Structure 1
Amino acid sequence: MSHIRAATRTGPARLRAAATTAVLLTAALSACSSDGAPPAGSDAKADGGGANGRPATVTVTPHGTRAKAGEPVQVAAHGGTLASVTVTDARGGTLTGSLSADRLTWTSDRNAAPGTAYTVKAATRTKDGTNGNAQETFTTASADKVNKVEWRPGDTTTVGVAQPISLVFEHPVTDRAAVEKQLKVTTSSDTEGSWGWMKDWSGKDRVDWRPKEYWRPGTKVTLDARLNGTDSGTGGWFVRDYRLAFTVGARQVVKVDLDRKQLTVERDGRTVRTFPVSGGTPGPETGSWRGTEVVMAKEGTIRMNSETVGLGDAYDQKVDYAMRLTWSGTYAHAAPWNAAYFGRANRSHGCIGMSDADAAWLYEQVRVGDPFEVKGAETKGEVAVNNGFGDWNVGWDKWRTKSALR
């Protein structure tokens, strides 16, 4: 820190300059102290020894009323060592930290957040046994721009084995490594996984965490996104933390074979039920996507309008038992108007259609996060990684390269 270096210079003029540039926490006098602050510059001797019964002094960085956020809080002792340090904000929150081996400095584990007032309290001790207590306050400058986060899945939910953790940012994230360092995933089954960055279907920056393989059923997962005080770059500051926890349910996989025009539900490796379906009419616009698609939401009865997916006025109708699979408009749903084609031909506009009875049963069975593994020669291509949760359509080695920390 520049103010500490300045305090080591010699000469009266330089010592006076050091006294004005260093933010000194003058320790409260102990019972054996005889006067106020030590002479300017005497605190610069960081050798663990005091003189004449005076307590040690302390410097804090950052300091002032418009201090820079996004950096750790650092406390340094001069003329003694640090016994303890506490840093609290106006809301009662605490910045934890650690002392150096020589107990001359303390550094917070986390960065100072923008627009926050902090109080620093330090207990010191000199070599001759003089104890002291010091206190200082500083306030960080407010954020000019705030970045917010939307996340999936929901907190305290139970999800299928293919559900990734997905964070979508309101503004661009240009310092992806700084953000990713603050994202901690904890699992009860020691699951191997990795973050992967992409552009969401909406065009916003997004990062997903997926396991190497489908989740183990029963796994409990926690995300601690300790983002408060992190600068995302041009997108602005994060001013809060995010935390979510969820549980993985039974291993249920829906397999759709559009060559055979049938759908099979497997649970824990055993076939539960198979019934006929009809996929998208072959073609670049109406064909179905192939690959692994993950149930994003169970939307019930919805209105489907072809104009919203670039298909002109091909259809506009209500659809029952709608299970969303992609952002581009792929659903599994009831399609009684296509009954003549179930099990015989693919004649939809891209969705996976089935009878009312089969759709009602499937709707009750599946949960958000269940994978639909779709294959077929008449499909129009593999679903993109950002089109819903297409994360599983990227091999593990390639997925890991999408991390900002690799």
Structure 2
Amino acid sequence: MPRTPAPAHTPARAVRTHAPIRTAVVAALLAPLAACSANSGPAGTADTGRAGKDGGDRPVTVTVTPTGRQASAGKPVEVTAAGGSLTSVTVTDAEGRALAGRLAPDGRTWVSDRKAVPGMAYAVTAATRTEGGAAGTARASFATAPADKVNKVDWRPGTGTTVGIAQPVSLVFDHPVENKAEVEKQLRITTSNPTEGSWGWMRDWSGRDRVDWRPKSYWKPGTEVTLNAALNGTDSGTGGWFVRDYTTTFTIGTQQIVEVDLDRHRLTLVRDGRTVRRIPVSGGTPGGDKRSWRGTAVLMAKEGTINMNSETVGLGDAYDKMVDYSMRLTWSGMYAHAAPWNARWFGNANRSSGCIGMSDADAAWFYGQVRPGDPFEITGEDTKGVVAPENGFGEWNLSWAEWQQRSALR
């Protein structure tokens, strides 16, 4: 993607440190965003001291990359020493935050753990030691070019929530992600107990790029889950740079599975392996576009009373009404909800426009029992097919091997 070009001739900044045997003198901080030198030498070179009459150690030359006022972001900060070693390195951004890094065992190099982010100024302080053992200090500064385009993320579930055992971690990006492997490397899931899982990429129902993390099998109740998306400074490609990190922490609630048998016109709530209640329902009308989906759908949200208009799901003017106790199962418009107008079909036949309808009383009770993330395992002979991974959270309809193949790091 287009980038603000760096100025011609932008070599790594070399900062030379002298540490004489008799006298140690520390270099002045280089002027912000520019290089100067105590001896007016080449740009990026500073003399930190002068040898005495009897001479002294040869200077340590410290080189910092990136360099300049419009340096490219997206790469770690690297500090190297020649003619001596580094004893410590501190890199601080313009907001006063230190950039953590690792010093090589031989003291010759230091590399930051994180990448330099777009539109940020950095100050570097390196403590050195000459081959003769004298200490010195070198300082430098640089700034990265601002992002010409920013990519943002919407994520689920929200921080502090308690969700069902089928809830994936889901990230949807504002702009296309071409560098999927590089982005996926920055995403880390930690859990309070050993949980095997994998990221999988897809095109969301909205048309945007999306990546979800799901366990190999349903979550264990009580598991605490944390997402750390260390994306700041990562280039997504033509979609732009990420300029912040994202994190969310949530908890897995009670083991609940909703079994929907469309052939028997019955919904069963199973909690911790025990049947809590069976509810007569009516699913989608057989033989056409009003059929329901089958497979595993995940409760996405409890939306309460909403207006449902059939034209928004491609069914013409079949209905336009306010519907109570609405529980969304897919982006394509399949819900479980109260449907008192269909009362004569509950437990007897499928006569809805694709949703799973029940009485007001049953819907009110059921709405109070379930939570987002609960799986709805739907069976039936005459359906539209299996819920697709991108249609809500349909990834549970893929085998574990199929899901793993969707990782950009496979």
Q: Could you state the TM-score of these two structures normalised by the residue count of structure 1?
A: 0.90
Rounded to whole Å, the distance in 2 between the matches of 1:360 and 1:217 is 25
Give the equivalent residue in structure 2 for 1:24: 14
Residues 192 and 21 (structure 1 numbering): CA distance in 2 closer, same or farther, change over 3 Å? Answer: closer
Q: Within the alignment, does 1:102 sit opposite 2:106 as a pair? A: yes
CA deviation profile, 1:136-181 (whole Å, cap 9, x unmatched): 1110001110000000011111000000000000000001000000
TM superposition shift of 1:37: 6.2
CA contact (8 A) 1:173 1:232 kept: yes
Residues 202 and 21 (structure 1 numbering): CA distance in 2 closer, same or farther, change over 3 Å? Answer: closer
Q: Within the alignment, does 1:216 sit opposite 2:220 as a pair? A: yes
SS at match of 2:363: helix
CA contact (8 A) 1:33 1:55 kept: no
Amino acid in structure 2 at the alignment position of 1:287: R
Q: Within the alignment, does 1:170 sit opposite 2:174 as a pair? A: yes
TM superposition shift of 1:102: 1.4
Give the equivalent residue in structure 2 for 1:383: 387
CA contact (8 A) 2:119 2:146 kept: yes
Q: Within the alignment, does 1:374 sit opposite 2:378 as a pair? A: yes
Higher helix share: 1
Residue of 258, 281, 289 corresponding to 1:254: 258
Amino acid in structure 2 at the alignment position of 1:405: L
Give the equivalent residue in structure 2 for 1:231: 235
Give the equivalent residue in structure 2 for 1:10: none
CA contact (8 A) 1:196 1:403 kept: yes
CA contact (8 A) 1:55 1:131 kept: no
Residues 367 and 21 (structure 1 numbering): CA distance in 2 closer, same or farther, change over 3 Å? Answer: closer
CA deviation profile, 1:61-81 (whole Å, cap 9, x unmatched): 000100010111100012110
Amino acid in structure 1 at the alignment position of 2:291: G
Give the equivalent residue in structure 1 for 2:29: none
Rounded to whole Å, the distance in 2 between the matches of 1:335 and 1:312 is 19
CA deviation profile, 1:260-293 (whole Å, cap 9, x unmatched): 1000000111111111000000133100000000
Give the equivalent residue in structure 2 for 1:124: 128
1:2-401 equivalences under 5 Å are 21-27=11-17, 32-33=23-24, 52-53=56-57, 55-401=59-405
Question: Which stretches in structure 2 are left out of the alignment for 5+ residues?
Answer: 1-8, 27-37, 46-54
SS at match of 2:112: strand
CA contact (8 A) 1:34 1:54 kept: no
SS at match of 1:308: helix
SS at match of 1:119: strand
TM superposition shift of 1:94: 2.2
Amino acid in structure 2 at the alignment position of 1:32: T
Amino acid in structure 2 at the alignment position of 1:186: T
CA contact (8 A) 1:298 1:321 kept: yes
Amino acid in structure 1 at the alignment position of 2:261: D
Rounded to whole Å, the distance in 2 between the matches of 1:134 and 1:148 is 37
Give the equivalent residue in structure 2 for 1:6: none
Residues 58 and 342 (structure 1 numbering): CA distance in 2 closer, same or farther, change over 3 Å? Answer: same
Number of residue-to-residue matches in the alignment? 379
CA deviation profile, 1:361-403 (whole Å, cap 9, x unmatched): 1100000100000001122211111000001000000000000
Q: Could you state the TM-score of these two structures normalised by the residue count of structure 2?
A: 0.89
Rounded to whole Å, the distance in 2 between the matches of 1:141 and 1:228 is 14
CA contact (8 A) 1:194 1:209 kept: yes
Rounded to whole Å, the distance in 2 between the matches of 1:100 and 1:220 is 35
Residues 103 and 366 (structure 1 numbering): CA distance in 2 closer, same or farther, change over 3 Å? Answer: same
CA contact (8 A) 2:12 2:66 kept: no
Rounded to whole Å, the distance in 1 between the matches of 2:141 and 2:407 is 38
SS at match of 2:312: helix
Rounded to whole Å, the distance in 1 between the matches of 2:104 and 2:252 is 41
TM superposition shift of 1:89: 0.7
Rounded to whole Å, the distance in 1 between the matches of 2:209 and 2:98 is 30
Amino acid in structure 1 at the alignment position of 2:13: V
Give the equivalent residue in structure 2 for 1:7: none
Structural RMSD (CA): 1.9
Residues 28 and 351 (structure 1 numbering): CA distance in 2 closer, same or farther, change over 3 Å? Answer: farther
TM superposition shift of 1:57: 2.5
Amino acid in structure 2 at the alignment position of 1:99: L
Amino acid in structure 2 at the alignment position of 1:197: W
CA deviation profile, 1:82-114 (whole Å, cap 9, x unmatched): 101111111122221111221101111111101
CA contact (8 A) 2:285 2:354 kept: yes
Shifted more, 317-326 versus 86-95: the winner is 86-95
